[in-house]
Structure 1
Amino acid sequence: MPANPSPRTPAWPPKSAPRLFVEDTLAEGCTIVLEGPHAHYLGKVMRAKVGDTVILCDNQTGEWAGRIGQVAKRRIDVTASERLRPREEVPDLWLCAALLKKDRFDLVLEKATELGVAQIQPVVTRRCVADKLNADRAITIITEAAEQCARTALPQIVEPTKLDNLLKNWPEERTLYFADEEGGGPVTNTFVEHSGPAAILIGPEGGFDDAERNAIRSLPQAHPITLGPRILRGETAAISALSVWMAVCGDWGKSDHSGKE
């Protein structure tokens, strides 16, 4: 009989290791004190113990493997031991999304983060059902989404702005694609025709009114797109447009997504 094969060396860091974004700047050998929700998650939910591995990200230097050195009732100490990946370069794409009902806009924030946008700009239009955004809640949603999908760079989320202010201050070098329910260029072809910094503008549940549509179309950098023959909800339109852009112009075509140097 053949000899028993030698056991494989366990992968390190383990794929099951929890991932957390921290506010501290990470470096080899530094110890991070985790308190509050982070300590509760590791200690009570994950049942972490001394010696366990935790993946840490700081939105600055990248992703680090850390070891738990101390577990107390309300705090856990983790020491960064090895940088696994540098902070990733995300495609230069903004999502300018009209505010929706809370749960639906939460979905937009989550999926835009997972899909890899660089910036999220909430927009207030005449037909919006909301005109405010809970900033703390929004940051929590995008951070948890980034932890789940293994992003090392958090998207920037900016204060909501009215549509006319957005258009008035639009940067000259950035293409603006806007989903127009009254028709536009085929989405894939339109994306291919333009390169460089870009943004996708998605309207509210009731769509843009005529004055808003005319104002958008008058912007030289704006290009209307159609997302197909069916009427899409705002959150579906945002997810669909971002997915197509990432496939055509973004980073979905890269063969190596390890991010390792």
Structure 2
Amino acid sequence: MPRDVPRLYVPIPMHQGMILTLEDAQAHYLLHVMRMHVGSALHIFYDDAGEWLARVVSCSRKTLHIEIVERVLPPQLSPDVWLLSAPIKGKRMEYIIEKATELGVRKVVLVRTERTIAAHLSEDRLHAHAIEAAQQCERRDVPKIVPIQPLAYILEHWDAHRPLLYGDETGAGMRADRAMAGLTYPLALLIGCEGGFAAHELEMLRAHPATIPLHLGEQILRADTATIAALTLVQHYSALSLL
């Protein structure tokens, strides 16, 4: 797709010839940032609808009407990888959501651990960052953001058929090539917050039948760095197992 053609996430069913009204932030972006006008082309996408070519058919100062012309790409779900993330403060959590979207995570589950400080986050705000990242990286779906849940509850209700890799900062984890040998989708990755997991949480994780401890190197990584490093490894080794 040409890089000067905007992409927008529009979560509704679509069909050829349909007229959509865009308002508020989307209209402002197209009108005043992208300087679109009648006849301008854009792409719109939605998880179940795929990606469609559309054209502006009319506009005012705050509203655009677009007509859906044709579908250019079918729906495409990202690989069945979940990220379980203990929230961290400020823009670094938004950065994690952005990079998780770019690296193909299908679902982000917010996890409360003993050392979690930033437990009061807006899922809507995080979802908005996921949408923006999906629009920019040409993904055709947007990861779901699941409200925060205690780690103990998640482990108690975990599906044993979904391997759960977790970043083990104690040095007791396995190297990536061993931890991920033969793994394919579905799977999940758990990264703790700043300060790591408490001793009793590590005991719970080690005792669970679905968990796999993952060693991420000798250095102590920040939570956002650890997330990106681990997701890159998951993407690499899972792709190898499908060859």
- Pick the TM interval, shorter chain: over 0.9
What is the TM-score normalised by the length of structure 2?
A: 0.95
- Secondary structure at the aligned position of 1:33 is classed as strand
Task: Give the Å deviation of 1:150.
Answer: 0.5
Is the contact made by 2:79 and 2:185 (CA closer than 8 Å) also made in structure 1?
no
Q: Bigger radius of gyration, 1 or 2?
A: 1
- Say whether residues 1:202 and 2:191 are aligned partners: yes
| 1:84 paired residue among 65, 72, 83 | 72
User: RMSD between aligned alpha carbons?
Assistant: 1.6
Unaligned runs of at least 5 residues, structure 1 = 1-12, 255-261
AA in 1 matched with 2:206:
R
In the TM superposition, residue 104 of structure 1 has moved relative to its aligned partner by 1.1
The whole-number CA distance in structure 1 between the counterparts of 2:77 and 2:142 is: 11
Distance 2:53 2:43 in 1: 5
TM-score (norm: length of structure 1): 0.89
* 1:84-106 Cα shifts (integer Å, max 9, x gaps): 11111311110001111121111
Give distance in 1, aligned partners of 2:3 and 2:54. 13
Whether the 8 Å contact between 1:181 and 1:207 is mirrored in structure 2 is yes
| 1:142-184 deviations in Å (ceiling 9; x for gaps) | 0000000011111111111011111111012100000001121
Given candidates 18, 21, 24, the residue that maps to 2:9 is: 21
Structure-1 separation of matches of 2:91 and 2:2: 33
Aligned to 1:54: 42
TM-superposed deviation, 1:130: 1.3
Q: Does 1:211 align with 2:200?
A: yes
| Moved segments of 4+, more than 4 Å | none
* Residue 67 of structure 1, aligned match among 55, 62, 72: 55
Q: Percent identity?
A: 36
How many pairs does the alignment contain?
A: 242
Deviation at 1:199, TM superposition (A): 0.4
Residue 107, structure 1, aligned to residue 100, structure 2: no
Distance of 1:225 and 1:245 partners within structure 2: 11
1:192 match: secondary structure: coil
Unaligned runs of 5+ in 2: none
- Contact preservation (8 Å) 1:50, 1:69: yes
